Structure formats: structure tokens, C-alpha cells
Amino acid sequence: MPDVETAKTAPMNGTGWRAEVGPQGLLVTLSGDWAVGSHLGGGSTIIGGMISQAGSGGLSFASPSLGRWDSALLVFLAALRDAANTAGIGFDDAGLPLSARRLLNLLPVPQAQVKPRSRPGLVARLGIAALDLWSSLGSVTAFIGDLVLRLGAAFRGRLTMRGRDLFFCIEEAGVDALVIVAIVNILVGGILAFVGAIQLRKFGADIYVANLVGIAVIREMAALMTAIVMAGRTGGAYAAHIATMEGNEEIDALRVIGIPIFDYLVFPRIGALCFTMPFLYLYGAAVAVFGGFLVAVLLLHLTAGEFITHVSDAVNITQVVFGLVKSLTFGAVIALIGCREGLRAGRSAADVGRAATSAVVLGIVWVIALDALFAVCANALDF
């Protein structure tokens, strides 16, 4: 191969190329017809060996006498482009036909293999976790701040929330949840009565199973179990719905139109759960007491009058109010977590699942943590 110029011509159809190194780099001149099976094989390999001589000028083309061509030319050009990228020199396709340039741009460019990074050490992982936690706290603070600002607008009568959105969310979070809330609470009430009876029977105090069921259900279990059910059912649904809107760019469209996101998406859901959770708590408490009643009457052979009398003596209105306050707080927290996880989700289908899962897990964890905090406060107040 000559140092300055290399030329080859296929004997059958005149297909050929000419490569020469000059001050402007490596110039490849194309001529003749380029068809599959007829062009000169190995041309790209020969030119690839000359690319190192191009210097900083790069690789360019000229095609004044190029005839008909098909994918054979594209394969040839793609091989030269890959060799130029590997050598780190420019690839100027301005001298090629416009159609060839467009088709060549559609061919993928091989990506350089990236060496896998070594796993960071313990200190680095702790630092990354601390930074992620700080970032999460900042985003939570910003979310709560935006919510407080919109609450101020609501008190001034400037909230643009639609009433039908609120009613739809109330129906979805309230009426549609009655069956699952009833199933969970009636089983919890029956389990409390059965387990309590096993222990109380050792002391001949079977009758006090009614007191146990009444206090445990009204004070703790009805609000807690209803909130856990709503965190898994409604909180996850809120996150998935909003994350899907984020992926479909519907939220971006709302922002462009000028519709406040909090008014349109967040407030109806928070208002719906805050409104329905106290009623669901009362409903769940009644169903749970009924479950304990069935176990006490059918298995422990207590009379209905004895059970109702002992429940009435053990439960007072203060405990009911305490349960209502807890359920209201749980509802607000579940709605906030579901909406926030949906708004911070990505735009892929996988992000929708991650947002829903995160909303359910965080909702349950925060509900249990708040229930423990309520228990500590009640004990400190001697309640």
C-alpha cells in the first residue's frame, strides 16, 4: 500500500475508492456502483490502517462519480465511521450524497465500553446515604411548605379545587373501602376475643373478654388496622395514579395551562381521606366489636347482654375521641405520602410501580410510628 495514495477498482462493475492523505486529513473518493456482493472487500480495513496518518484533519469524503449504491456502501461507511471514532478523529460526511448521510445517521454508533466502577467503601456509602437523606428531608420540607401556602389560599377562599373531584375521591376512599375494612376488622375483633379468652380462662375471668375487646378495638386496633388497610389500598393508588400522569406528561400540561397541581391533585385526595377516615374508624370499630361478640357468644357461651354491658362499662367517649383524632391524623399522613411519592416519580412504567410500593411501605411505617407516639403521649397524660 502506498504511503500517500491507495486505489482499488473492482473489475466487474467499476466499483472503487481512492484514499489519499493530505494537509486536510484523509480524503476518500468514491466512484462507480456500490451493490451488495460486488464492492471491493477489505477496503474499510485498508483505509482504517491509514486513519492514523490523518492527523488532526479527520476523515472526509468526495463522491463526484458515485453511481448507484445500496446497503453495501452504508456498511463500508459505517466501518470507516467506527474506525474514526476509535481513533478519536473527526468524521466529515458532507461529501456524501444526502440520502446516504441520512441513512448513515440512522445506524447506531457503538458505545465505548465503560470500565465498571469499583464499589465505594463504607465511609463513602454512609456519605451517600446521608446526602440522600438530606435531599429527601429538603424535598419533604418543600412539599409541606407548598401545602401550607395553598392552605392559606384555601382559607382565603382562593382554592380552585373542583367539588366533583373531591366527591369522587371520597367515594373511592370511603364507600369502595367498606368491604375490605369490614373483613379486616371483624377478623381482628374475633382474634382478640379468642386469644384473650384463652388467657382469661386460666383465672376464671372469661367475662372480661368483652372489656378487652372493647378497649383494644376502640383505643388502638380499629384506627390502626383501618389506617394500614387504607395505606395499602388508597395510598398506593394515589401514588400510582399521579405517577402515571407524570409519565404521560399530563402534569406538565397542567402546569403549562396554569392549573395549580396542589389544588387539582393533592387537596382532593387529602380532603377525601381526612373526611372518610373518622367514619371508617367508627365503622371498623363497630365491626370489630361485633366480631368479638360473635366469638364470645358462640365459643365462650357468654350472653349478649353480658357482653354489651361489659363493653359499655369499659369504653367511654374520651377513648372514642382519641381514636377519631388518631384516624384523622393517619388519613392526612397517608394522603400526603401517596401524593408526594407520585409527584416525585420518574416517567417510566417501572417508576409507577416503585412509587406505589414506596407509598405503601412509607404509609404503613409512618402509621405505626405515629400510633406508638400517640400511645406514649396518652401514657404521659395518664389517659
pLDDT in tens, 18-49: 778 777 778 888 888 887 766 455 555 666 66
C-alpha 150/C-alpha 265 separation (Å) is: 12
Co-location of 196 and 332 in the same domain = yes
* Cβ contact 21:52 at 8 Å: no
Long-range contacts of 110-118 (CB under 8 A, 24+ apart): 110/82, 110/85
> What count of other Cβ atoms lies within 10 Å of the Cβ of residue 329?
20
pLDDT in tens, 331-366: 999 999 999 888 888 888 888 889 999 999 999 999
pLDDT at 380: 84
Co-location of 251 and 332 in the same domain = yes
Q: Is the pLDDT of residue 378 over 60?
A: yes
C-alpha 129/C-alpha 135 separation (Å) is: 10
Residue 155: inside a domain, yes or no?
A: no
Long-range contacts of 255-259 (CB under 8 A, 24+ apart): 259/160
Co-location of 165 and 98 in the same domain = no
Please give the grid coordinates belonging to residue 331: 388519613
Q: Is the pLDDT of residue 6 over 50?
A: no
Strand, helix or coil for residue 283: helix
For residue 93, the domain's CATH number is 3.30.750.24
Residue 140: inside a domain, yes or no?
A: no
Residue 138: inside a domain, yes or no?
A: no
C-alpha 341/C-alpha 364 separation (Å) is: 14
pLDDT in tens, 234-275: 999 999 999 998 888 888 888 888 888 888 888 889 889 999
Strand, helix or coil for residue 32: strand
Residue 121: inside a domain, yes or no?
A: no
C-alpha 214/C-alpha 193 separation (Å) is: 10
C-alpha 266/C-alpha 263 separation (Å) is: 6
pLDDT at 381: 80
Smallest Cα–Cα separation from 178: which of 254, 96, 93, 276?
276
pLDDT in tens, 198-228: 888 777 777 888 888 999 999 889 999 999 9
Place of cell 416503585: 354
In order of 152, 168, 235, 368, the CA distances from 162 in angstroms are: 17, 10, 21, 32
pLDDT at 4: 38
pLDDT at 260: 81
Residue 43: inside a domain, yes or no?
A: yes
Please return the burial class of 320, using the count of CB atoms within 10 Å of its CB with bins 0-12, 13-18 and 19+: middle
Please give the grid coordinates belonging to residue 355: 412509587
For 102, the domain range is: 5-106
C-alpha 224/C-alpha 327 separation (Å) is: 8
Q: Is the pLDDT of residue 3 over 60?
A: no
Residues 6+ positions from 338 with CB-CB distance below 8 Å: 234, 235, 236, 237, 238, 239, 242, 269, 359, 363
Start-to-end CA span in the chain (Å): 97
Residue 354: inside a domain, yes or no?
A: yes
pLDDT in tens, 292-302: 999 888 887 88
Residue 128: inside a domain, yes or no?
A: no
Co-location of 260 and 164 in the same domain = yes
Smallest Cα–Cα separation from 269: which of 323, 334, 187, 327?
334
* Number of domains comprising the chain: 2
Co-location of 184 and 329 in the same domain = yes
* Cβ contact 355:243 at 8 Å: yes
At which of 106, 122, 147 does a domain end?
106
